[in-house]
Chain A
């Protein structure tokens, strides 16, 4: 157990639907990162939050949004889902906002869009 909790572990949904992925960071970590991993794209950075504020953005689609709440948990919302959104979605957390050190990843949410 890495200390980063992601729910649900598996999600199957239909095209056009909306889903919410949840991440609870490791105790004491203020930064949360979201990554998407599909077979053909590898690990793609989506977005980072630090203490409730957005800090860095990757190639996150407009159909995707995220937020970090006062208790530091984060949610990634995916809407108007397409088959190509099927992927593993990882959340990571770290103490700092601006270094590459000590990311702790969760075990991921496997999203299947049918």
Chain B
């Protein structure tokens, strides 16, 4: 699975958009980008995933560059409850027959702090 690089921490004002970058310059053609977040001491929560097209759901938007070497998770109107560690993960969509199957490897992530 491709390695990802994220900033250690970021700040955002409440009500503003939070843009969390992720670099994955060694991503392969069959690897997806997944985003999860973990609010303090809770279990991680799935946010969104994508291959190459931009994706949007009720939680966030995912913008993937045309060369797929980086992506940005956008929380359009951040609230205090969005304060969490955000993990960007890259892996193949399916790995049947491989050795990692459904395994997700979490890095250190980005600590997002939303301020009033």
Contacts and interface: CB of A to CB of B under 8 A. Distances in A.
A48 B93 CA distance: 17
Contact of A100 (B38, B43, B102, B108): B102
Contact of A99 (B93, B106, B107): B93
Interface string A3-43: 01000000000000000000000000001010100000011
Given A98-B95, A100-B93, A101-B34, A55 B102 contact: yes
Interface in A40-56: 42-43, 45, 48, 50, 55-56
Interface residues of B, number: 29
Contact of A45 (B49, B99, B104): B104
Contact-residue size bin, chain A (C-beta under 8 Å from the other chain): 20 to 34
A64 interface: no
B21 interface: no
Given A98-B96, A100-B32, A100-B89, A45 B103 contact: yes
Contacts, number: 81
Interface string A87-98: 010101010111
A100 B49 contact: yes
A48 B102 contact: yes
A52 B36 CA distance: 26
Given A48-B103, A106-B43, 14 more contacts: A31-B102, A33-B102, A42-B108, A43-B106, A45-B105, A56-B101, A56-B102, A98-B94, A98-B95, A98-B96, A98-B101, A101-B34, A108-B41, A108-B42
Interface of B: 32, 34, 36, 38, 41-46, 49, 87, 89, 91, 93-96, 98-108
